[in-house]
Amino acid sequence: MAIKQTKRAAVKKNRANSGVKVALLGFGTVGGAVARVLAASRFQGVELTHIFNRNVDRKRSSAAAKAVPASVVWTDSIDVILRSDVDVVVELMGGLNPVEGWLRKALTAGTSVVTANKQLIAYRGTGLAKLAEKHNVHLLHGAAVAGGVPVIPGMLQGLCGDQVTRLSGIVNGTCNYILSRMEAGADYSTVLADAQQLGYAEVDPAADVDGYDARAKLCILSRIAMHAELDPDAVAMQTISAIEAIDFSYAKELNCTIRQVSRAELDGKLVHARVAPMLVPLASPMAWSHGTQNMVVVSGRFGGDVVFSGHGAGGEPTAVAVVSDLLAVAQGCKSVELPLRRREVTGDFFAPHYLRFVVDDKPGIVSAISGALSKVGANIDSLLQRRGYPKHRLPFVVTTEPCLSSTIERALASVARMDCMLEKPLCLQMLEVEDKAE
């Protein structure tokens, strides 16, 4: 593995100067929190000088603006920012267009970038990093995954010496909030509505509940922890919207709960990757993660499992990551870099599966289902059918021994066509707890 080297591994001294000037792009929840943290901590050498936002006058008179120094230039023109003498832009707007173009201009002009933009970093991060290096500036994105949880610096600086073979995480606070509330008995639509009201979910919640947000984060984590460059569009996703209360009941009987899990596993030159609701054992750290918390579990060949957990969303936790990155830029810090490899990705996993059917009950259903499974070589591990449900709308569960997801899906394709099926069968991976022996 080629790595950069220095003469005598000397620490480079910083040259004193008048500090770094900072522009915020976006003054929403996180932007306001960044201003608050900077005002409260008064780090010398980090000076907020510009704020960009559309409808900037409304922002300027908001309560959050009270934390902003009077000397700051507020503008709704990105050109004012790009033509200014700021040293760092903090990008908090999200999305690819037009942000990517702006940041490329900034980097090319010798301005460092600190960003929370997971889609940008997932899809374009490697190219932008090369551009930053070419122009001798920083591109930092600790805020893009698990806001207040130092996963990115922790993995970069602390686990670069290991060979990380797999990682899994709960990285979308919206899904975690929804599923935790459903675990406690609430139903999906009610909780989703609450989440939208609390600002945990957008009017169009698809980015969260269908997995787009988590997928971008998974690609970023794979890049950092496993040095594996994935095409985000190739990473399989499964929505959480098909989960029902009955699934939590059955999961509990299996000593599990349900979380939206993002997982990736190195397998030679291939990476298995998937974002989906999965059953997690109650004994595993992921079962403990609830509300809007985020958690990342990284497994290394030599170090075993490492767990990071904390508040992954919200203005102030994300602002902590942003400000920490700003300090790194201000002090000319540098992290370990190891070469990346582009990897092919598959959504197929060898795992036990949880299958939930809702049928109009009649004789022969279990026989037909187990026939379809054994036909593809999948073994049934357990069958759960609780009392108290109407026969014309009967939910029951089959769990399988470990087998390939693709195999199960093949079997389910024929089962789904059976007359008695009232809903599309639900198929969830079951996460197994494995760790280095102690």
Q: Would you count residue 41 as binding a copy of itself (CB under 8 A)? A: yes
**Which residues ranging from 75 to 104 are in contact with a copy of itself (CB under 8 A)?**
87-88
**What is the Cα–Cα distance from 61 to 74, expressed in whole angstroms?**
11
- Binder to a copy of itself among 169, 205, 317, 352 (CB under 8 A)? 317
Q: For the CB of residue 270, give the shortest distance to a copy of itself in the complex, in Å.
A: 20
Q: Would you count residue 255 as binding a copy of itself (CB under 8 A)? A: no
Candidate segments 24-32, 135-143, 366-374, 406-414, binder of a copy of itself by CB under 8 A: 135-143
Q: Would you count residue 292 as binding a copy of itself (CB under 8 A)? A: yes
3-state secondary structure string, 69-134?
Answer: CCCCEEECCHHHHHCCCCCEEEECCCCCCCHHHHHHHHHHCCCEEEECCHHHHHHHHHHHHHHHHH
Q: Would you count residue 70 as binding a copy of itself (CB under 8 A)? A: no
The answer to whether residues 295 and 287 touch, using CB atoms and an 8 Å cutoff, is: no
Amino acid at 173: G
The one catalytic residue among 7, 105, 217, 436: 217
Q: Would you count residue 11 as binding a copy of itself (CB under 8 A)? A: yes
Q: For the CB of residue 30, give the shortest distance to a copy of itself in the complex, in Å.
A: 11
**What is the Cα–Cα distance from 172 to 213, expressed in whole angstroms?**
7
Assigned token pair, 63: 């309560």
Q: Would you count residue 434 as binding a copy of itself (CB under 8 A)? A: no
The answer to whether residues 343 and 228 touch, using CB atoms and an 8 Å cutoff, is: yes
Q: Would you count residue 154 as binding a copy of itself (CB under 8 A)? A: yes
Q: Would you count residue 311 as binding a copy of itself (CB under 8 A)? A: yes
- Binder to a copy of itself among 39, 206, 336, 413 (CB under 8 A)? 336
Q: What is each CA distance from 180 to 38, 175, 191, 277, 286, in whole angstroms?
A: 33, 8, 10, 12, 11
- Binder to a copy of itself among 25, 179, 329, 365 (CB under 8 A)? 329
Is 217 an annotated catalytic residue? Answer: yes
Q: For the CB of residue 39, give the shortest distance to a copy of itself in the complex, in Å.
A: 12
Collapsing DSSP to helix, strand or coil, 47 comes out as: strand
User: Which residues contact residue 338 at a Cβ distance below 8 angstroms, ignoring those fewer than 6 apart?
Assistant: 1, 3, 160, 227
Does 98 sit behind a cis peptide bond, omega within 30 degrees of 0 on the bond before it? yes
**Which residues ranging from 260 to 289 are in contact with a copy of itself (CB under 8 A)?**
285, 288
The answer to whether residues 355 and 408 touch, using CB atoms and an 8 Å cutoff, is: yes
- Binder to a copy of itself among 281, 314, 347, 402 (CB under 8 A)? 314
Q: Would you count residue 291 as binding a copy of itself (CB under 8 A)? A: yes
> Hey, which residues are catalytic here?
217
